[in-house]
Chain A
Amino acid sequence: MVKMRSEEILPLITEAIVEVLPELEGHAFTESNSLEGLGANSMDRAEIVMLVLERLDLEIPLVDTFGPQNLGELAQHLSEKTSVRAQKRA
């Protein structure tokens, strides 16, 4: 898989959020939303991020995704990780 842009990753994140927190179905997500603010506890967060990693086929430790504070930062962070991987594979 090649590098993915954060705009491509953001929908994967919101899709995973709705899967883990079905009550957010139909919510208008923004990049500034934080997972915590959306009602995710630490286990929900881990589940959401793992679903995204699986869909990106990105095998990185979950602990490497703890930095980002909101959805936009998370998408950007994961985009950079896919970039690193694309370079390694090149």
Chain B
Amino acid sequence: MRDVAEIVVTGLGVTTAVGQGKEQFTRALFAGDHRFAVLRRPGRQLDSRFVGAEIPSLAPPARVAARDLRTASLTAQVALATLEEAWTEAGLDEADASRVGLIVGGSNVQQRELVQAHDRHRAKPRFLRPGYGMSYLDTDLCALATAVFGIRGLAHTVGGASASGQLAIIEAAEAVASGRVDVCIALGALADLSYWELLGLQSMGAMAPMDCADAPEAACRPFDTAHNGFVFGEACAALVVERRGARPPREHAPYARLAGWSVQLDGNRGPNPSLEGEVRAIRQALGNAGLAAADIDYVNPHGTASPVGDRTEAQALRASGLTRAAVNATKSITGHGLSAAGAVEAVATLLQMRHGRLHPTRNLDDPVDDSLRWVRGEAVEAEVRHCLSLSLGFGGINTALCMSTYESRRA
């Protein structure tokens, strides 16, 4: 691996059900807020009462023309709003556009809108909106973003199921480390699930069952012995990753260094986790960062509330020697953003690092593993110098990302 000491994060954007923008999101994290309810967005229910967390309102950025907004999917609109926040914070209007890239994490991220288009035109298919021929592609997000922000370096999508968001960060770090671009934005795209994806995820046993609609606030309970599957949450996040020194330094210090990372595969098509794969990803990320497990102050785990997933992950943390680190589960507040999750959780991690506080894990009444240092009940003060964020995806994908404070860099 190249000199990862120079790869830093200089801008963040986030949009979730509990808030648009870092300020609202941070407040919600530390307060342990939630917006879990029976889903209401059109196209999410038929004979069902699926529960999840939906973004209540969105302020689109002024630089996006109304003509683009008309045909931009919810996923694309949220992406543009989220990118705007990260872009502005990192001062990218002043950057050389040919040296700026964008990697969008996620695949099949506009399903609800596609199903709605099919339903609307089933009786008269010939009147389908011609622009559907290009906007059905996930890469329409890249196209819109490059048109709106003038990005010219690179732009493409990467898919890694629920690890897509973190995979995008890792790919952005690699693109910057290799010198292909100086700055690369990683976006975890909003997974806009339709009724059909929700039903499939529930049928396969990954998503919490229908009866949780009776008490939506209690449905999402990562690492609690009463966990019963993940609960969906609309979300999107963006991180500006850059090589330190490639452009004039900003007024503000970077959020952190990306110190080490790892992508490990299990050779498994299924949704089931692998203890061995998770441990391998953790060890390699730590090794690349030049850190030991004992150096890690905080772990932001994948923690979906899947019974087998939670237990395997807790076991992986223990087996990796991460028993000194504080652990919380961001999905207990945001819900599971699927393609967005890894990016949202990296943003949550960096915001907690900057504020020196860790958010509580909602509904963690009876942890599955008493040997780990759970943060629950209320937010706690904590100095985080080194941390680890984990993402796992269907199809045997394990990713780990180690982030360290910028000041902690080795001489």
Contacts A54-B124, A59-B126 known; A47 to B66 CB distance under 8 Å? no
In the complex, whether A71 has a CB less than 8 A from a CB of chain B is no
In the complex, whether A12 has a CB less than 8 A from a CB of chain B is no
Query: How far in angstroms is the closest Cβ of chain A from B121?
Result: 9
Contacts A20-B67, A22-B67, A23-B67 known; A43 to B124 CB distance under 8 Å? no
- For B131, give its contact among A47, A57, A59 (CB under 8 Å): A47
Q: For the complex, give the distance between the alpha carbons of A43 and B144 in Å.
A: 14
* Residue in chain B with minimal CB distance to A60: B126
* Residue in chain B with minimal CB distance to A49: B130
Contacts A20-B70, A22-B70, A59-B126 known; A46 to B131 CB distance under 8 Å? yes
Q: For the complex, give the distance between the alpha carbons of A43 and B70 in Å.
A: 13
- For B66, give its contact among A23, A43, A46, A57 (CB under 8 Å): A23
Q: For the complex, give the distance between the alpha carbons of A22 and B71 in Å.
A: 12
- For B127, give its contact among A23, A43, A53 (CB under 8 Å): A53
Q: For the complex, give the distance between the alpha carbons of A50 and B128 in Å.
A: 8
Contacts A22-B66, A62-B130 known; A47 to B124 CB distance under 8 Å? no
* Residue in chain B with minimal CB distance to A53: B127
In the complex, whether B46 has a CB less than 8 A from a CB of chain A is no
Contacts of B70 in A (CB 8 A): 19-20, 22
Contacts A43-B131, A50-B129 known; A59 to B124 CB distance under 8 Å? yes
Contacts of B124 in A (CB 8 A): 54, 57, 59
* Residue in chain A with minimal CB distance to B125: A59
Contacts of A43 in B (CB 8 A): 130-131, 134
Contacts of B129 in A (CB 8 A): 47, 50
Q: For the complex, give the distance between the alpha carbons of A20 and B127 in Å.
A: 15
Contacts of A62 in B (CB 8 A): 130
| 29 A/B residue pairs, CB under 8 Å, sorted by A | A19-B70, A20-B70, A21-B67, A22-B66, A22-B70, A23-B65, A23-B66, A23-B67, A43-B130, A43-B131, A43-B134, A44-B67, A46-B130, A46-B131, A47-B71, A47-B129, A47-B130, A47-B131, A50-B127, A50-B128, A50-B129, A50-B130, A53-B127, A54-B124, A57-B124, A59-B124, A59-B126, A59-B127, A62-B130
Point out residues on A near B: beta carbons under 8 Å: 19-23, 43-44, 46-47, 50, 53-54, 57, 59, 62
A-B contact sample (17 more), CB < 8 A, given A23-B67, A46-B131, A57-B124: A19-B70, A21-B67, A22-B66, A23-B66, A44-B67, A46-B130, A47-B71, A47-B129, A47-B130, A47-B131, A50-B128, A50-B129, A50-B130, A54-B124, A59-B126, A59-B127, A62-B130
